[in-house]
Amino acid sequence: MQLYNLKHNQEEVNFETAVKLGLGQQQGLFFPVKLPVFKPIELLKILEMDFITRSTEILSKFIHHEISKKQLYKNVQKAFSFTHPLKVKITQNIDCLELFHGPTLAFKDFGARFMAQMIMLMNRNHETVTILTATSGDTGAAVAHAFYKMKNVRVIILYPKGKISILQEKLFCTLGQNIKTISINGSFDDCQKLVKEAFNDKKLKESIGLNSANSINISRLLAQICYYFEAFSLMSEKQRKNLVIAVPCGNFGNLTAGLLSKTLGLPIKAFIACTNANDTVPRFLSSGIWNPNKTISTISNAMDISQPNNWARIEELFHRKKWNLKELRFGSVSDSTTKNALKELFELGYISEPHAAIAYQLLKNQLKKEEFGLFLGTAHPAKFKNTVEEILNTQLELPDALESRMHLPLLSYNINPDFQKLKKFLIEK
Ligand SMILES: *Cc1c(COP(=O)(O)O)cnc(C)c1O
């Protein structure tokens, strides 16, 4: 698969290079030159397949020139080796697609684990690779678990000390082995700055085989296409007819993957781009003016992003397919409405969490009589235990993935936001 840089169209790379680079020149995102399509008859055939076989077919459609189907099947099997997406009935015309049954209890496991498979596959000379990434919580955990115990790879994750929840910290700072975690005495922005400085240090970059694992990597997006097909395969004929999918959005990677599933031929009638008070995109879609505000903290903190990275890909996709952006539904939900939505779901017998509750709320508001609605459950409620317990006035049990780590000691190092300190660590540890 060839991909071009959205900021610098002349730069064209293959899949392998795009995975290794992450971003192109001028920090531009990579986008496929060709957008493959399944013929209707192929589509019927793959919908009948099991999740792993079908996901191999989907990914192969993009990358068969570079990776054989047989090889890809093995990687997909390893990447998606946890409970597959589950579809849960909420009301007569609304279901939730639960994507949080992986090792770190959020949909990010799909993308991170497939990316880890690809990076390892591409490391043909078995050189030592150092994955360096900054996290404000969920991504770090998904990346750490994805690379855990893999040979020739060392993962270093920076996070702001005291600014992520104890549960989040326990999830990825208790692993040890090839996973090194460093709490930084500073903010998430300080962490990101340190990562950038490391990538700008060419000599360091080469000597330790530095690779980023951030959310704009094309391999993560491709992996996420697969669960939209899974959802569709689990639906009745009637549900498939007028399907509307509500996606809780932060960096808009999940929605990009959904739209890519539509370009592949999956007949999804409409998507709803759902945000919290960080509503740059909803305001843009209603006014045509791109005017990001300062980022606001909300109870759906994984969506607290005011300059979503993947938006450029979504615009390109609409442009390339000659779709009208006016057809993209959207909305934003305040914290107090999110709380009410969570309570309403609880009364319906379903324990959710703030991110999914936003999508449910907008789906309920916007769904037409003849339509069937699906909202994505992006994280396990236990990941937001305190918030959910307080709103619902109930107790949540911790799933095994969390319970088993709660009593383990934290193994993190701690440094000041000083690049020389980080550099020393990267060279010595
Ligand atoms: C990352 C995340 C999101 C946002 O997903 P994007 O692909 O960045 O739009 C939503 N919910 C949860 C729980 C997340 O962890």
Q: Could you tell me if the CB of 102 is within 6 A of ligand 1?
A: no
Task: Give the containing element (helix H, strand E) for 69.
Answer: helix 69-79
Q: Could you tell me if the CB of 383 is within 6 A of ligand 1?
A: no
Side-by-side strand order, sheet with 8-14: 8-14, 2-5, 30-32
- How far apart CA 131 and CA 421 sit, in angstroms, is 17
Q: What is the DSSP string of 112-181?
A: HHHHHHHHHHH-TT---EEEEEE-SSHHHHHHHHHHTT-TTEEEEEEEETTSS-HHHHHHHSS--TTEEE
Residue with CA closest to ligand 1 atom 8: 251
- How far apart CA 332 and CA 303 sit, in angstroms, is 11
Q: Is residue 166 included in any domain, yes or no?
A: no
**How many angstroms is it from 165 CA to the middle of ligand 1?**
17
**How many angstroms is it from 59 CA to the middle of ligand 1?**
22
Residue 295 confidence class, pLDDT cut points 50, 70, 90: confident
Kindly give the number of the ligand 1 atom that is closest to the alpha carbon of 251. Answer: 8
Q: Is residue 285 included in any domain, yes or no?
A: yes
Position 376 pLDDT exceeds 90: yes
Instruction: Write down the mean pLDDT value for the chain.
Output: 94
Q: Is residue 262 included in any domain, yes or no?
A: yes
Task: Give the containing element (helix H, strand E) for 45.
Answer: helix 40-47
Per-residue model confidence (pLDDT) at position 225: 98
Per-residue model confidence (pLDDT) at position 136: 76
Kindly give the number of the ligand 1 atom that is closest to the alpha carbon of 353. Answer: 13
Position 189 pLDDT exceeds 90: no
Q: Is residue 248 included in any domain, yes or no?
A: yes
Q: Is residue 35 included in any domain, yes or no?
A: no
**How many angstroms is it from 348 CA to the middle of ligand 1?**
24
Number of separate domains in the chain: 1
Q: Could you tell me if the CB of 93 is within 6 A of ligand 1?
A: no
- How far apart CA 84 and CA 337 sit, in angstroms, is 30
Q: Could you tell me if the CB of 299 is within 6 A of ligand 1?
A: no
Q: Is residue 336 included in any domain, yes or no?
A: yes
Per-residue model confidence (pLDDT) at position 66: 97
**How many angstroms is it from 139 CA to the middle of ligand 1?**
9
Residue 429 confidence class, pLDDT cut points 50, 70, 90: confident
pLDDT tens figures, 143-169: 999 999 999 999 999 999 988 888 889
Pairing of strands 2-5, 30-32: antiparallel
Residue 287 confidence class, pLDDT cut points 50, 70, 90: very high
Question: Which CATH number covers residue 238?
Answer: 3.40.50.1100
Domain of 275, in residue numbers: 83-105+218-397
- Regarding pTM above 0.85, the answer is yes
Position 212 pLDDT exceeds 80: no
Per-residue model confidence (pLDDT) at position 187: 83
Position 215 pLDDT exceeds 80: no
Q: Tell me the mean pLDDT in the region 284-311.
A: 92
Other residues' Cβ atoms within 10 Å of the Cβ of residue 8: 13
Q: Tell me the mean pLDDT in the region 236-247.
A: 97
Q: Is residue 135 included in any domain, yes or no?
A: no
- What are the E-state strand segments in 214-305? 243-248, 270-275
Kindly give the number of the ligand 1 atom that is closest to the alpha carbon of 256. Answer: 7
**How many angstroms is it from 373 CA to the middle of ligand 1?**
19
Q: Is residue 420 included in any domain, yes or no?
A: no
**How many angstroms is it from 395 CA to the middle of ligand 1?**
24
Closest CA to 108 of 355, 387, 350, 280: 355
Q: Which of 15-24, 73-82, 346-355 has the lowest mean pLDDT?
A: 15-24
